[in-house]
Amino acid sequence: MNLKELYQDIILEHGKSPRNFGKCTGHNHEAKGHNPLCGDQVHVYLKLNADKNVEQLSFEGSGCAISMASTSIMTELVKGKSLTVAKNLVDAFLNMVKSGNEMVTKDLTEEQKLKIMSLSGVKQYPMRVKCATLSWHTLVSAIDGKKDDVNTEIIDS
Amino acid sequence: MDIDNIKSQFPIFSKKINGNPLVYLDSSNSSQKPKSVINRLEYFYKNEFSNIGRSIHSLSVNATNKFEETRMSVKKFINANSKDEIIFTKNATESINLIASTFGQQYINKGDEIILTELEHHSNYVPWHYLRESKGAIIKFAPINDDGDIKIDELEKLINSKTKIISITHLSNVTGTIVPVKEIIDIAHRKNIPVLVDGCQSAPHLKIDVQDLDCDFYAISGHKVYGPTGIGVLYGKKKWLEKLPPYIGGGGMISEVKKDKISYAPLPAKFEAGTMATAEVVAFEASIKFMQSVGIENLIKHEKELTEYALDKLKAINSVKLIGNPKNKAGVISFTIKGIHPHDIATILDEDGVAIRAGHHCCQILHEKLNLNASARASFGVYNNKEDVDILCKAINNCRKVFDLK
């Protein structure tokens, strides 16, 4: 596989300049996640409003280009969605990077789908799948208000 | 030294990785194996296999003799005083666990102190942490400076009447620091404190003389010294090993077993319960022979030259930041590249057949101290040459291209 399929321009760009970085104002949910094998860490903040919509979504943390880009794109795509849609997107994403299937969802525009599918190349690199999935698991943890930090070694095994 | 000849003794180098010749720069993690070791394992299983020390038949007697020959070779290799001071374990991790557990059981009580350093691998921290949990022991870390050298005067200040043992690495698996363990042992012994040396990284790179060092315990992993996996060595001074309680209980480590009492076998069997990694121990002798055939002085000279060459080449790449600058450095080079995470570096280098390690290398304390989440590490074995370093540097430049960095 060509490295450029993994490190597409959109991934490098989001990796270098992640969107929604920092604590969002008024957040009422948050969760931490880490990958103990490599030391990657992410802290997801989200504001759920009275209508159960993700009004704000942001993150802090450090990691490789894949994990930063995955988190950055996640915040862009999930922000503004209802809780149900947010969870469906997480499922569709995890299914995509683990199985290699297309991102199956009716909740994104074609352009958004293309953006998220830039991460599908990661399935060719089994050691890197966890880099892409860490923040998505952490988002679920924040939504569900789980107390324990997300640990990729437990959740992905 | 004829590196081409040495490299040709390692079958793995005839393999291609992602279509490229393998440039193996992960020997600190585990070394590759020469033909002689692989052949010895196979020969033993085909012609000599039997369990040792239990049966009267010829095969068992012969296998026992071969097993004990390795013990004698290890004794000579590290210049121990007696073969009874050589205990076979699974790896250096188990060797350290053995001492932490048995020494802890016998000598550590609530409030007693254990001194480690900020350089330590998790395998020389976690076993001692168990004593913090089970016995209420206190663990103190001797600090390092920015170069990655241990501040020995600070270490000395940590010693007090509560200090029961000091456990230090001989060679850092991140900064490549060669620790002046003899000096530290002298300081400790003046205060009657025993010292365990984690020799996991040093055994393949330095001349080991446990009597000259005067260390009380020394831990080695066979797989890092061109040997098989599943075999390690614990050296311990006889006076200590005799006093310590056994570790794992079972067959082979007993003298007499009655319903109301059990007595234990003398050294070294006391610490070798159950069927050991017999073939691996036998084949480990071939690893020691390989090291001797190269000659430890030649090996040290070669790795020193190679390390200096690599440091010069890497320093010339502006975006590369080397981690640590210790007074004495072995062939372990950790680095970061501005704008590229170590994991991305490792993935991109792998595409060029270059195998490095990325992460915290089981040294989270050290990475935290250096304000790093992760680093990339290239580490040498006897088979590496300047061409490998050139390919590494070219692959690093390719990383910058993939990431579109100037």
Quick: pLDDT tens for B92-136.
999 999 999 999 999 999 999 999 999 999 999 999 999 999 999
pLDDT digits (tens, 9 = 90+) for B148-206: 999 999 999 999 999 999 999 999 999 999 999 999 999 999 999 999 999 999 999 99
Answer yes or no: do A65 and B404 touch at CB < 8 A.
no
pLDDT at A18: 95
Domain B3-26+295-402: CATH superfamily, name plus number: Aspartate Aminotransferase, domain 1 (3.90.1150.10)
**Chain A residue whose CA is closest to B362:** A37
What letter would DSSP give residue A123? Answer: G
Instruction: For each of the domains in chain A, give its residue range(s) and CATH number, in order of start.
Output: 3-145 (3.90.1010.10)
pLDDT digits (tens, 9 = 90+) for A12-25: 999 999 999 999 99
Contact between B373 and A128 using a beta-carbon 8 Å cutoff: no
- In this prediction the ipTM stands at 0.87
Instruction: Sort out which chain B residues have CB atoms less than 8 A from A37's CB and list them.
Output: 359
Which residues of A sit within 8 Å Cβ distance of B?
Answer: 3-4, 6-7, 12, 16, 37-41, 62-66, 125, 127-128, 131
Is the pLDDT assigned to residue B319 strictly greater than 50?
Answer: yes
Tell me whether residues B343 and A37 touch, CB distance under 8 A: no
CATH topology of domain B38-292: Aspartate Aminotransferase; domain 2 (3.40.640)
Q: Is B363 a catalytic residue?
A: no
What are the structural domain ranges in chain B? 3-26+295-402, 38-292
Q: Which residues of B touch A41 (CB under 8 A)?
A: 373
pLDDT grade for B297, boundaries at 50, 70 and 90? very high
Which one of B351, B374, B403 has the shortest CB-CB distance to A12? B403
Mean pLDDT of A26-37: 90
Q: Is A53 exposed, middle or buried (0-12, 13-18, 19+ CB in 10 A)?
A: middle
Query: Taking 80 as the threshold, does the pLDDT of residue A153 lie above it?
Result: no
Per residue in A139-151, pLDDT (tens digit) is 999 999 887 888 8
List pLDDT tens digits, range B206-255.
Answer: 999 999 999 999 999 999 999 999 999 999 999 999 999 999 999 999 99
Among the listed ranges A145-149, B17-21, B36-40, B352-356, which one has the minimum average pLDDT value? A145-149
**Cβ–Cβ pairs < 8 A, chains A and B:** 48
Q: Write down the pLDDT at residue B311.
A: 98
B148 touches chain A (CB under 8 A): no
Q: Is B301 on the interface with A (CB under 8 A)?
A: no
Alpha-carbon gap: A12 to the closest alpha carbon of chain B (Å): 7
Average pLDDT over residues B346-360: 95
Tell me the per-residue pLDDT of A68-104, one tens digit each, with 9 for 90 and over. 999 999 999 999 999 999 999 999 999 999 887 888 8
CB A66 within 8 A of CB A122: yes
Contact B373 A7 (CB under 8 A): no
Residues of A in contact with B359 (CB under 8 A): 37-39
Which pLDDT score is estimated for A36?
78
Which among B17, B174, B344, B348 is the top mutation candidate for probing chain A, defined by the most A β-carbons within 10 Å of its own β-carbon? B344
Output the pLDDT for position A157: 44
Mean pLDDT on B380-399: 97
Residues of B in contact with A66 (CB under 8 A): 343-344
